Chain A
Amino acid sequence: QSALTQPASVSGSPGQSITISCTGTSSDVGGYNYVSWYQQHPGKAPKVMIYDVSNRPSGVSNRFSGSKSGNTASLTISGLQAEDEADYYCTSYTSSGTYVFGTGTTVTVL
Chain B
Amino acid sequence: QVQLQESGPGLVKPSETLSLTCTVSGGSISPYHWGWIRQPPGKGLEWIGYISYGGGTSYNPSLKSRVTISLDTSKIQFSLRLTSVTAADTAVYYCVRVVTGTSNYDCWGQGTLVTVSS
Residues of B within 8 A of A (CB): 37, 44-47, 49, 58-62, 94, 99, 102-106, 108-111
User: Which residues of chain B are near A1, meaning CB under 8 Å?
Assistant: 60-62
A residues near B44, Cβ cutoff 8 Å: 3, 89, 101-104
Nearest first, the 9 A-B pairs at minimum CB distance are A51-B104, A34-B103, A36-B103, A45-B108, A104-B44, A101-B45, A99-B47, A51-B103, A97-B58
Which of A35, A38, A57, A98 has the most CB atoms of chain B within a 10 A radius of its CB?
Answer: A98
Chain B residues whose CB sits within 8 angstroms of the CB of A93 once the complex forms? 103
For the complex, give the distance between the alpha carbons of A55 and B94 in Å: 23
For A98, give its contact among B60, B102, B108, B111 (CB under 8 Å).
B60
The contact sample of 26 A-B pairs, CB cut-off 8 A, is A34-B102, A34-B103, A36-B105, A40-B45, A45-B109, A45-B110, A46-B105, A48-B105, A51-B99, A51-B104, A52-B102, A52-B103, A52-B104, A55-B104, A89-B44, A89-B45, A91-B45, A91-B103, A91-B105, A92-B103, A93-B103, A96-B61, A98-B47, A101-B37, A103-B44, A104-B45
